[in-house]
Amino acid sequence: MKILVTGGAGFIGSHVVELYLENGHEVVVVDDLSTGHRANVPARATFYPVDIRRPELDEIFAAERPQVVNHHAAQMSVRISVDRPLFDADVNILGSLNLLECARRHGVERLIYISSGGAVYGEPVSLPCDEGHPVDPICPYGVSKHVVEHYLHLYRVNYGLPYVVLRYPNVYGPRQDPAGEAGVVAIFTGQMLADKPLTINGDGTQERDFVYVSDCARANLAALQPEVESGIFNLGSGRGTSVLEIYQILRDITGYSGAAQFGAAKLGETYRIFLNADKARRGLAWSPTVDLASGLRQTVEYFQRTAAREAA
C-alpha cells in the first residue's frame, strides 16, 4: 500500500519509513527538515520538503493519493513548548488539523498518530499507567499531543476515518541527534564520547520508560493491519529507569571518566512515569524485544561509527 509519513526524515520516523519499505510498501515522506535530516530518508521513498501547516500539503495528497497516513511530524520538545506554547500549538494542533482535513478530503483509509505516553498523563496517580489513567498533562507539549487524540475520535465518528494512536515512551537509539531536541540517552552519549562535561537536570532519580527505536517502529508496522480497531495504545516496557541508571550504564559502555554535574530540574517535565502496554500486546501483538543494556550498547556503537566517519 502507499503510506505517507510525516516527519519521516526524523529520528523515529526514518526508522518507520525503512521498515515500511522493507515490507513492500510504497512510502511518501513529508518533512520540513526543521529537526530531521534529508540523509535519513531512504532513496526509495518519495520526499517532499513541506511543513504540515502549509496549504501545499493538499496538493501532495492529491498527487500521491496515500491509503494510510503515519503522523510523526511534531514540535516534540517539552522545553520549547513551555517557552513557546503558541508555536507548540500551531505545529502540533493546527498542523495536525491541516493533515486530518487532507486525509478526509482525499479518502485516506487509516491514520496512525504518534502521541506521548511520557507527557499526556502528567504526574501519575498510579503506575504503570494504562490507557485508562487520567490525562492531566503538565506541559503544553502533552496538552497539544492529547488534543489531537480527541480530533481523531471526532473524525472517525463524523467522517469514518479509522485511526490508531501510539503513545510513545522515551524512545532512544541510532539517529537521535545529541545536538538537537534529543532525549537523555543521545545527549549523554554525545557528551561522553566527546569527553565533555555532562549535566544532569534535577537530582537524577527521576524515572522514564525507555524503549529502543526499532521496537517502536515495529508497532507502526503492526498498526497497519486492518483487524486493528481504532483506539489508543501505550508502548512501553512497564518499568521505570532513573536518569542516574542511564548515566552509569552509558559511562561503563563508553569509559567516560568525567563526573556529572547537577543542574535545575526542567519545568514541565514529569518526575516518574512508565507505561502499561498490555493493550498493545493484545491488540497489536507487540512487546519490546531489545533490552535496555543491549539497546544502549547499540546506540553507543552507532554514535562511535558516525564519529569515525566524520573524522575520516
Please say if 141 is a catalytic residue.
Answer: yes
Closest CA to 103 of 141, 138, 52: 52
Domain assignment present for 185: yes
Residue 7 in grid coordinates: 516527519
The whole domain housing 270 covers 172-208+239-275+290-311
Q: What is the pLDDT of residues 205-254, one digit of tens each?
A: 999 999 999 999 999 999 999 999 999 999 999 999 999 999 999 999 99
Q: Is 279 helix (H, G, I), strand (E, B) or coil?
A: helix
According to the model, what pLDDT value does residue 182 have? 66
Q: Identify the helix (H) or strand (E) that includes residue 48.
A: strand 46-48
Q: Does residue 75 sit in the same domain as residue 224?
A: yes
Query: What is the number of domains present in the chain?
Result: 2
Q: Does residue 82 sit in the same domain as residue 26?
A: yes
Instruction: Calculate what percentage of the chain has a pLDDT beyond 70.
Output: 99
According to the model, what pLDDT value does residue 308 have? 82
Q: How far apart are CA 214 and CA 265, in angstroms?
A: 29
Q: Does residue 246 sit in the same domain as residue 299?
A: yes
CATH value at residue 196: 3.90.25.10
Q: Does residue 33 sit in the same domain as residue 73?
A: yes
Residue 158 C-alpha from the chain's centroid: 28
Domain assignment present for 264: yes
Q: Does residue 37 sit in the same domain as residue 150?
A: yes
Contact 223, 25 (CB under 8 A): no
Q: Does residue 15 sit in the same domain as residue 53?
A: yes
| Stretch 118-133: mean pLDDT | 97
Q: Does residue 22 sit in the same domain as residue 66?
A: yes
Catalytic residue chosen out of the listed positions 20, 113, 141, 155: 141
CATH value at residue 150: 3.40.50.720
- Residue 134, Ramachandran bin (φ over 0: left; ψ between -120 and 50: alpha; else beta): beta
